[in-house]
Chains A and B, each alone.
Chain A
Amino acid sequence: MTIIRISDDALARACGADEVAAAFAKAGATVERTSSWGMQWLEPLVEVDGKGFGPATVDDVAAILDGSSDKAIGVIAEHPFIASQQRLTFARAGKSRPLSLEDYEQHDGWVGLKRARQIGSEQIIAEMLHSGLRGRGGAGFPAAIKWKTVAGAVADQKYIVCNADEGDSGTFADRMMMEGDPFALIEGMAIAGEAVGATKGYIYIRSEYPDAIDKLRKAVNLCAHIIAPFECEIRAGAGAYVCGEETSLLNSLEGKRGEVRAKPPLPALQGLFGKPTVVNNVLTLCAVHHILAEGGAEHYQSLGIDRSKGTMPIQLAGNIKHGGLYETAFGITLNELVYDIGGGTASGRPVKAVQVGGPLGAYIHPDQFEVPFDYEAYAKLDALIGHAGITVFDDTADMGTMARFAMEFCAVESCGKCTPCRIGSTRGVELIDRIRAGGRVLEGVELAPQMHNMPKKGRSQEDEIKLLEDLCETMKFGSLCALGGFTPYPVMSALKHWPDDFRGK
């Protein structure tokens, strides 16, 4: 009998996958809910004997069943979007049922953990180091070094904390991973536990991802006996963006305000409840089980370029025709990602800018689209890879407005602990408003005589722009964490490449 496979990923569901699945069931078909292939412009994607149909609606059900549907895309695994990828972290995407232990085992599940338990801490860390894996959360810090520090610390209790609170706009790989392949994350945490001598792990998930929270809670219960004596607990965040910052997250887990902690001490030495703690991002932990499988480390480090090793799940988002999850080795360019793979803008208009790395990432101008995707190459551009979200904007976007939004977002989400972020962001909004208004007018100055440092004559638009640049420098180097420290990236890149959007020309 034919089995109809439909993803139960949150995006597919938001596009009507539940209704389509119900319609197939009503028509007498056997329906299996799977993880998502990541071809999001085709969701809900219906799979029949390996062939795909999408985006499917309830009205397409009869035609798909009798083979006359005009939504056919051919064999899914051979689709150029899938066939051109190098999938390691997302190896099971689309192929397995998220909560099926049987499916997970069939697709190499628990192989890494079993081997990790045979070879022991020192060897695990050596292989992690060899793989060249860098933290996928944004900073790109070598994962093995963090593990080594925690492993070397002496304490009665250590923790593994998964930072699943990174919900940058334009990024959704964490969410897809947690919903589509939850056991892979849990296995990575158990391996980390084995490496550093921790028996307790927490996954802190942002509350904006209800499906992921639900899936992981179920997954943890299903595999508790496999990962024992390691224990894993799911905690929900409460809607504070700054808790994606590792020290804020630790405070939040402890039940405090999610304020950033000054470093040192490093979380690796004094982390959760003051104990040595590994804090890793979802994708970092999900890469671990592959690396720990026989020969995995060697394979992993053979991919990528320079010091950016392995693969990166890239998220094609915003105004893009073929949006979705695209995993490939480092070194690919934005030209390839945006035009060849993404098909250009969804609106059909010219591309104006691409923001790489979430709301704190720089806006990249089309002139820079040939730079290879690589941590160091992007740093040279004054940009960041971050979480590898690619948010495309067409020529209707106003970059002055986007820069203002970046400052405004920082002001709303600042934890308040450090002055450059707390006050600088609010001043940033005011400054951009003044720049866009053409500078500060004289009348405004006279109205505020009590301000001792007020300029005696107004400030021109150019003066105000210089002030904004100065403010950005202060935020960049004076903020305690990435929220205040990276907000200058979108602001300054927008100002640099699209000055006319600020000057009202």
Chain B
Amino acid sequence: MSREQRLSEIIADHQGREGPLLPILHDVQEEFGCVDEEAERAIALALNLSRADVHGVVSFYHDFHTKADSRPVVQICRAESCKARGVEALIEGAVKTAGERVKLADVYCLGLCSSGPNARVGDKLHARLDGAALNKLIENA
């Protein structure tokens, strides 16, 4: 199936719903790793919106990206609870371990606040991290 076909399939999947834009963007991001200009155009056309409207939404949310990044992503929680449990002291080492190969991203709360520092890789969560555990997580990402 071509990219174009897959895109229209995703749009068609949601078009009958109320407020279909966010579910469409989630699926497009999931499928292609980003919501690029071409996707924005196709979605805008299908939903009778301007591309500016769609781009406004894509750029508003942290989860959507306009360019694909094929690197594995490790999200590290930098919010208050994890700060109280010492996450900031682990960041320098994590950046070093990640290098260019792994993308580190900040996240503000994974909901594991009694047991930080916490991180997320894909849909898998990790709690009670120390420097060694976090670095191992990044190495294996």
Q: Tell whether A and B belong to one assembly.
A: yes
B20 touches A391 (CB 8 A): no
Contact A15 B79, CB 8 Å, known A207-B63, A393-B84:
no
B19 touches A273 (CB 8 A): yes
Assembled-state Cα–Cα distance A237/B108 (Å): 14
A169 touches B22 (CB 8 A): no
Min CB distance A397 to B, Å, is: 7
Interface membership of B16, Cβ < 8 A: no
Q: Which of A385-423 contact B (CB under 8 A)?
A: 389, 391-394, 397, 402, 405, 409, 413, 415
Contacts of A238 in B (CB 8 A): 22, 25-26, 61-64
Q: Which of B1-50 contact A (CB under 8 A)?
A: 18-23, 25-26, 47
Can you list, as one digit per residue, whether each of B100-121 has a CB less than 8 Å from chain A (1) or not (0)? Answer: 0000000111111111101010
| Nearest-CB residue, chain A, relative to B78 | A405
Assembled-state Cα–Cα distance A240/B80 (Å): 17
Contact A40 B115, CB 8 Å, known A15-B127, A238-B22:
yes
- Given A240-B62, A318-B113, A397-B83; 20 other pairs, CB 8 A cutoff: A11-B111, A14-B127, A15-B127, A167-B109, A169-B82, A172-B114, A238-B61, A239-B63, A240-B61, A252-B22, A253-B19, A255-B20, A255-B22, A256-B21, A256-B57, A315-B114, A317-B113, A323-B114, A391-B113, A394-B84
Assembled-state Cα–Cα distance A259/B80 (Å): 24
Assembled-state Cα–Cα distance A167/B23 (Å): 20
Interface membership of A135, Cβ < 8 A: no
The 9 tightest CB contacts between A and B, nearest first, are A323-B114, A255-B21, A169-B79, A239-B62, A317-B113, A238-B61, A318-B84, A14-B127, A14-B125
Contact A258 B114, CB 8 Å, known A210-B123, A319-B85:
no
Q: Which of A133-174 contact B (CB under 8 A)?
A: 167-172, 174
Interface membership of A41, Cβ < 8 A: yes
Q: Which of B47, B84, B107 contacts A392 (CB 8 A)?
A: B84
Contact A10 B79, CB 8 Å, known A238-B22, A239-B61:
no
Assembled-state Cα–Cα distance A89/B30 (Å): 35
B residues adjacent to A (C-beta < 8 A): 18-23, 25-26, 47, 56-57, 60-64, 77, 79-85, 107-116, 118, 120, 123, 125-128
B113 touches A389 (CB 8 A): yes
Assembled-state Cα–Cα distance A259/B115 (Å): 32
| Nearest-CB residue, chain B, relative to A316 | B114
Contacts of B61 in A (CB 8 A): 237-240, 258
B109 touches A168 (CB 8 A): yes
Assembled-state Cα–Cα distance A220/B26 (Å): 20
A residues adjacent to B (C-beta < 8 A): 10-11, 13-15, 40-41, 43, 167-172, 174-175, 207-211, 235-241, 252-259, 273, 315-320, 323-324, 346, 355, 359, 389, 391-394, 397, 402, 405, 409, 413, 415
Contacts of A239 in B (CB 8 A): 61-63
Min CB distance B63 to A, Å, is: 4
Contacts of B116 in A (CB 8 A): 318
Q: Which of B18, B111, B115 contacts A273 (CB 8 A)?
A: B18
Q: Which of B20, B22, B79, B126 contacts A359 (CB 8 A)?
A: B79
Min CB distance A481 to B, Å, is: 15
Contacts of B21 in A (CB 8 A): 255-256
Contact A14 B83, CB 8 Å, known A252-B22, A273-B18:
no
Assembled-state Cα–Cα distance A13/B124 (Å): 9
Min CB distance B26 to A, Å, is: 6
Contact A324 B22, CB 8 Å, known A14-B126, A238-B64:
no
| Nearest-CB residue, chain A, relative to B61 | A238
Q: Which of A209, A236, A320, A346 contacts B26 (CB 8 A)?
A: A236
Assembled-state Cα–Cα distance A174/B109 (Å): 13
Contacts of B109 in A (CB 8 A): 167-169, 171, 208
B83 touches A40 (CB 8 A): no
Assembled-state Cα–Cα distance A241/B62 (Å): 9
Contacts of B63 in A (CB 8 A): 207, 237-239
B81 touches A317 (CB 8 A): yes
Q: Which of A254, A316, A402 contacts B83 (CB 8 A)?
A: A402
Q: Which of A169, A211, A255 contacts B57 (CB 8 A)?
A: A255
| Nearest-CB residue, chain B, relative to A346 | B85
A41 touches B111 (CB 8 A): no
Min CB distance B108 to A, Å, is: 6
Contacts of A252 in B (CB 8 A): 22
Q: Which of B18, B60, B82 contacts A258 (CB 8 A)?
A: B60
A to B CB contacts below 8 Å, 25 in the list: A10-B111, A11-B112, A168-B109, A169-B79, A170-B80, A172-B114, A208-B111, A236-B22, A236-B26, A237-B22, A237-B61, A238-B22, A238-B61, A238-B64, A239-B61, A257-B60, A258-B60, A273-B19, A315-B114, A317-B84, A318-B85, A318-B114, A359-B108, A389-B113, A391-B84
